[in-house]
A and B are shown apart, each in its own frame.
Chain A
Amino acid sequence: MPSKVLKVEDLSVTFALRNTEVHAVREMNFDLTAGETLAVVGESGSGKSQAFLAVMGLLARNGRATGRAMLGDVNLLGMEKSKLDAYRGRDIAMIFQDPMTSLNPSLRIRTQLAEVLVKHRGFAKEQATRAAVEMLERVGIPEPAKRANAFPHELSGGMRQRVMIAMALLCQPKILIADEPTTALDVTVQAQMLDLFKSLTQDFGTALVLITHDLGVVAGVADRMMVMYGGRAVETGMTDDLFYDPRHPYTLGLLHSTPHIAHRAARLDPIQGLPPSLEHLPKGCSFNPRCAFCFDRCLEERPPLAPIGEGRAKACFYEGPLSYEKVA
C-alpha cells in the first residue's frame, strides 16, 4: 500500500470582506499518495487555488482556513509562520503560473537556489551551489553552469519556469503543488514541461498536484482528478473514468466545452450561463441554474459528495444517463 503523504480533512476557506464573509472553499476532503498526480480542475472562482494556498499557509491576510491538512502527523493549517517554514520548501513546495513574480529579480539564479539548501538542509554555500547547478541540469536547462549566473530577467519564460521547478525540487519535497504551471508557456515548451513533470513523479516519488483549467493538460499527466465548482469538489475519481464516463453534469459540460483537435465538432455544447458569484451562491446545488439535468430536489437541497463505486465520488442527485442527446 503506497503511503499517503497528505490528508486534507474538512478544509474550508473564508475571506472577511468589509461587511460580509465569502466562502471560497467548503468542506474539502482528499488525500495524496506518493508518486501520484492529482489534477484539480475548475474555472475561475472555483476555489482550486485558494484551497492549496491555504494548505501552504499563503492565504491573503483577510483569509482564514479551518479543518486539517495532515502532513504525516503534523497539521499545517493554523500553524505559526515560523514553524511552517520548517516544512514549506522542504516537504511541500508550490510553484505558480508566472515565475517572474516568484523569483527575486536582483539575485542571480544560483544564489536563489543555493539559499534553499543552505537554509533547509544545512549545506555549505559551495556545496549548495554545486547541487543547484546539478538540479538545473536535471530539469533540462542547457549550459546549467552558465545559466546559474544569470539574473531571472535574462531567461525566457520557459527557462524561468524550469528554474522554479528546480528550486521547488531541491529538497526533494514529498509534495509539489503546481498552480497553472504551463498556462503562460508556448505549446511546444508546455509539452516539454509536462514531460518533465511525468519523469519527476516517477523518479523522485513526488506527489504532484496540478491545478489547471485545461483538460488537455489533465488528460496527458494526471492519475486522478478532482473537479471543483463554487468552492466545492463536485466530482472525484480516476482520470479515465471522469473523461469517458463523467457522472456530474458540470464535468460533462466542461468536456463538451473543450475543442478537440483530433475530432472536430461542428459546434461546441457549452454550459449555459455564467459561473456563480461566491457571495450569492444559489440555494440547493450551486450548479442548478446552469444544469441541463436539474430537478426539484436540486433547487432545495445541496447534494453531498458521496461515493459511487471504487475511488469515485460525485455531488449530484441526478441518477439517469448523462448525455446531451437524452436531454434534447
Chain B
Amino acid sequence: MMTNTQENLLEIRNLNKSFSISTGLLGRPLELKALQDVTFSVKKGETLGIVGESGCGKSTLGRCILQLIAPDSGQVLWLGRDLTSLPAEEMRKKRQDLQIIFQDPLASLNPRMTVGEIIADPLRTLRPELGRKERRARVLKIMESVGLLPEMINRYPHEFSGGQAQRIGIARALVTEPKLIVCDEPVSALDVSIQAQILNLLADLKDEFGLTLIFISHNLSVVRHVSDRILVLYLGRVVELASGDDIYDDPKHPYTKALLTAVPIPDPKLARQRDIDALKGEIPSPINQPSGCTFRTRCRYAKPYCAEKRPPLETIDGGRLVACHRWREIEVPEEAVLVG
C-alpha cells in the first residue's frame, strides 16, 4: 500500500489547456477548456487511475503529461524538473523515462514495419548508441516479457489480433526501460477474455520492471481493479482524488457517488438490489460550461450558491482531495440536512 512518505515521481501543478474551435470565416473562434487548474502528484511505484466520462479531459491530460500536447500554463514536474520548459532536445531524452500505450492497438502500429522494427523504433531514436545486435537482443527480451514468441519478430501488425497487437504496443513502450507509462484506455477495444489477459500482463510487468502507471479509462471497474489511487475528472477539473478503497467505500463527491452507482455490476442479485442514483441529463458542453460548480446542473444536492462560487479542491483527512461545497453535509442522509 502507498504511504505519504513515498517520493513523488511526477507533480502536476495548475495545468490548463484550451483548444480553440473555429466557427467559420466570420465567427469568433470558441474556446474549449479541456483542462482547468489540474493539480495532483504521482508516487513512485503506484498505479494512479484517471476516470471520467467523454470530454472530461482525461486523454488530453495524459498527452499533456508526456508533452505530446503543450499545456497553456502550469507545470509538469518530473523528479522536480519542469518538462514544459525543457528544450526539445532534452525533452526527447526524457522520453526514455515516460512512455504511452494507446487504446486502438492496430491503429497505433505502423502497418509497413515488422514487429521487430516497431519495437526497436524507440531505441533507434532514443538510444542511437546501441548497436544492431544489442538492439535485437533487447527487442527479443522484451517480446518474451510481454508474451510474444521470438518467431513473430518478422511479422507485420495486420497478422495479429487486437490482444496481440496491444502486446506489441506494450513491448514498444517498455523497450526503453521507462519509469512511468501512461496507459490511455489500453483494454477498451479488446474482448473481455483478452482484456483480462492484458490487465494481468500489465500487473506482472509493473512488478517485474518497477513501473509507475497512470491508467486512464472510462471503465470504473477496470480502473478500480488496477489502481492504488483514483482521480475523478469532470469537465476538465479534478473533483476527487483518493485511494481506490476510499473512492469505492466512501466517495465524497456527488459525481463520484453517481458514477459508482451507474457502473454495471456483473452480479444479478446485487444489480437488482441496487438503487441507481441515475444522474439527470448529460455532460454539459465543455465550450459552454456552467458557472460556479460545473457539476451543479446534474447534482441532486445542488444549492443556489453552487452556481455562484466554484468549490475549491480541498485536502481532507488522509490526504484525499475533494471539490464540493457540500461534501460535509451530504455525508448524512438528505432528510437530516433538511431538518437541521
Contacts and interface: CB of A to CB of B under 8 A. Distances in A.
B303 to A, nearest CB: 21
Q: Is the interface of B mostly helix, strand, loop or mixed?
A: helix
A186 interface: yes
B330 interface: no
A326 interface: no
Interface string A27-69: 0000000000000000110000000000000000000000000
Interface string A203-247: 000000000011111111000000000000000000110011000
Nearest to A290: B193
Interface string B21-64: 00000000000000000000000000000000110000000000
A152 interface: no
A265 interface: yes
B193 A43 contact: yes
Interface in A174-197: 186-192, 194-195
B39 to A, nearest CB: 25
Interface string B189-229: 00111111101100100000000000000111110110000
A89 interface: no
B259 interface: yes
B213 to A, nearest CB: 16
Contacts of A121: none
A225 to B, nearest CB: 10
B89 interface: no
B137 to A, nearest CB: 28
B126 to A, nearest CB: 32
Interface string B261-279: 1111111111100001011
A268 B221 contact: no
B193 A275 contact: yes
Interface in A242-256: 243-244, 253-256
Q: Is the interface of A mostly helix, strand, loop or mixed?
A: helix
A187 B193 contact: no
Given A188-B278, A265-B225, A267-B200, A257 B53 contact: no
B287 interface: no
B195 to A, nearest CB: 7
B161 interface: yes
A268 B279 contact: no
A240 B262 contact: no
Nearest to A142: B281
Given A215-B192, A259-B222, A267-B203, A187 B262 contact: yes
A48 B200 CA distance: 27
Contact of B196 (A186, A190, A261, A269): A269
Interface string A255-296: 111111110110111111011000000000000000000000
Given A213-B192, A258-B221, 17 more contacts: A43-B192, A43-B193, A159-B282, A186-B53, A186-B218, A187-B264, A190-B264, A192-B278, A215-B192, A240-B269, A244-B268, A258-B196, A259-B221, A264-B225, A264-B244, A272-B197, A274-B163
26 contacts: A44-B191, A186-B218, A186-B282, A186-B283, A187-B219, A187-B262, A191-B278, A213-B191, A214-B264, A215-B192, A216-B221, A216-B264, A216-B266, A218-B266, A219-B267, A219-B271, A220-B268, A243-B268, A254-B193, A258-B266, A259-B196, A264-B244, A264-B248, A270-B193, A270-B197, A275-B191
Interface of A: 43-44, 142, 156-159, 186-192, 194-195, 213-220, 239-240, 243-244, 253-262, 264-265, 267-272, 274-275
